[in-house]
Amino acid sequence: MAKKSKGKELQEALTHKWKNVWEVIEDDEKEKVFEINEEYKDFLDKGKTEREAAQEIIKIAEEKGYISMDEIIEKKIKPTPGTKIYANNKDKSIALFVIGKEKLEKGMHIVGSHLDAPRIDLKQFPLYEDSGLALCKTHYYGGIKKYQWVTLPLALHGVIIKENGEKVHISIGEDEGDPVFFITDLLPHLAKDQMEKKMGEGITGEGLNLLVGSIPFKDDEINEKVKLNVLNILHEKYGITEEDFTSAELEIVPAGKARDVGVDRSMVGGYGQDDRVCVYTSLKAILDVEKPNKTAVALFVDKEEIGSVGNTSMESKFFENIVSELIYLTEKNYSELIVKRALANSCVLSADTLGAFDPNYPEVLDKLNAPYVGKGVTIVKYTGARGKGGSNDANSEYLVKIRKIFNDNNVVWQMGELGKVDQGGGGTIAYILANYGMEVVDCGVALLSVHAPYEIASKADVYMAYKGYNAFYNA
Ligand code: MN
Ligand code: MN
């Protein structure tokens, strides 16, 4: 073999190249990549809303021997290293704990993601009839591009709670035989005025009305016959009346299952991958943890997409309260100071998605600092907008710790940022946990078409997120 040139040697020693996962993993690990993604697609299909995903997490956790916090408190069970606990916050946010060998006071290793995803909600008095059609008024949830949601088969998911307390679970549009719903769009022939509008204005928020029926109830003595017929069908099927919509949470999401993408099946296309890709991978990662040094926590919160507000969001006291309960159960003398120490000494991976470099839109990302599909789990030092505004800018001392954990465990990772300077930006739950004094860095999967009805993830990145979170828990 010819001797390497001095420059070549120096280049290898000094410069850094991000790796493509597919090029560095062996065949047996490649098999694992595809295996995990089959489970991942199944998880996406079963949890298309925050409630459904929360329910699925509890089901899986219980199967793996996790005990509910309510049971722990009620039976005064003293958690010991290896005890697995789940806490359920109003069926919309969940925390899983695997108690570590070290005291809670020494801090936890937390991976935090969000269960909610952009969607379209029915209004509280939605149903009306116009020109022989029954429709529902809606209010979109989170940041959507409205034009993406028209002429697309949609499913209706959610709960209706009747005055007698009965909770009716709704899921229409997912089974082969189910009907689906649509939001209509204008035919191109008559869209002259619409097409001249800006993309953000061509389809309006109040224009996102869901088509739900067109057969009139046969009775000459009444008006709004189509609306009545819809109400009658709903009443026969679910026992509900129009007033019951006022205490309902009904969410419209794209109908259908997650699919493989590409002739090489290297990617997953599906709804709600922001942030259920991080939900699933951190769930899978904690399920593989038995007796960690630091207590391992997988935190799944709601309402991130609307600013982490409300009692199921990261801003709520839910997590802090559960940690207090655990301190109360594990310490001889409970004190708030121990709770504060447990929180302040914790380390966090804020597990969320970001936009991957898209060759169709190269102008919005800095090629040198953009995350790429297939180059592993992405670490994001700062998010924010216009001069890092609103960002949790992770500390170098912490970044190096995560970098070392990943390198020591053959986790393929890359650095990424949310976009070019002054191009826009966004946030995650990172800054909220950082308020406790925890070390926090964003670390998740870069997607194509973020917040679109169908988002795309690389299977390799999904796998590396799992591997990275698992290494973090076991560190
Ligand atoms: Mn997100
Ligand atoms: Mn988002």
Give residue-wise pLDDT tens across range 80-123: 999 999 999 999 999 999 999 999 999 999 999 999 999 999 99
Residue 310 Cα distances to 212, 313, 318, 348, angstroms: 31, 6, 11, 22
CATH T-level fold of 119-254: Aminopeptidase i, Domain 2 (2.30.250)
Q: What pLDDT is recorded for position 43? A: 98
- Residue where the block lists tokens 């999401």: 253
Residue ranges of domains in the chain: 16-117+271-474, 119-254
426: CA distance to ligand 1 center in Å?
9
**304 Cα–ligand 1 center, Å:** 7
Ligand showing the shortest atom-to-Cα distance for residue 429 = 1
Q: Which two tokens stand for residue 352?
A: 């969320």
Mean pLDDT within 251-274: 98
**To 10 degrees, what angle do helices 50-63 and 273-287 make?**
10
pTM: 0.97
Residue 384 has pLDDT above 90, yes or no: no
Distance 300 CA to ligand 1 centre (A): 12
Q: What's the Cα-to-Cα distance from 308 to each of 181, 275, 277, rounded to whole Å?
A: 29, 14, 19
**Does the structure show a pLDDT above 90 at 391?**
no
What mean pLDDT comes out for the span 261-279? 98
CATH number attached to the domain at 16-117+271-474: 3.40.630.10
| Per-residue pLDDT at 422 | 85
pLDDT of residue 48: 98
Q: Which residues sit opposite 172 in a β-bridge?
A: 156
Task: Please report which ligand is nearest the Cα atom of 301.
Answer: 1
Give burial (CB, 10 Å; 0-12/13-18/19+) of 384: middle
Q: What confidence tens digit (pLDDT) does each residue in 296-350 have?
A: 999 999 999 999 999 999 999 999 999 999 999 999 999 999 999 999 999 999 9
pLDDT tier for residue 1 given thresholds of 50, 70 and 90: low
**Residue 4 has which token pair?**
């390497």
Cis peptide before 275, with omega less than 30 degrees from 0? yes
| Ligand 1 geometric centre to CA of 42 (Å) | 20
Predicted pLDDT of residue 386: 86
Average pLDDT over residues 16-39: 97
Q: What is the mean pLDDT of residues 361-390?
A: 93
* Cα 33 from Cα 19, distance rounded (Å): 16
Per-residue pLDDT at 400 exceeds 70: yes
How far is it, in rounded angstroms, from Cα 40 to Cα 463? 10
- Cα of 53 vs centre of ligand 1, distance in Å, is 15
Query: From the CA of 451, how far away is ligand 2's center (Å)?
Result: 6
CB-based contact 9:400 (threshold 8 Å): no
- Residue 170 pairs in a beta bridge with 158
pLDDT of 3: 85
Q: Residue 159: is it exposed, middle or buried by C-beta count within 10 angstroms (0-12/13-18/19+)?
A: middle
Average pLDDT over residues 261-274: 98
Average pLDDT over the chain, rounded to an integer: 96
Residue 93 alpha carbon to ligand 2 centre in Å: 16
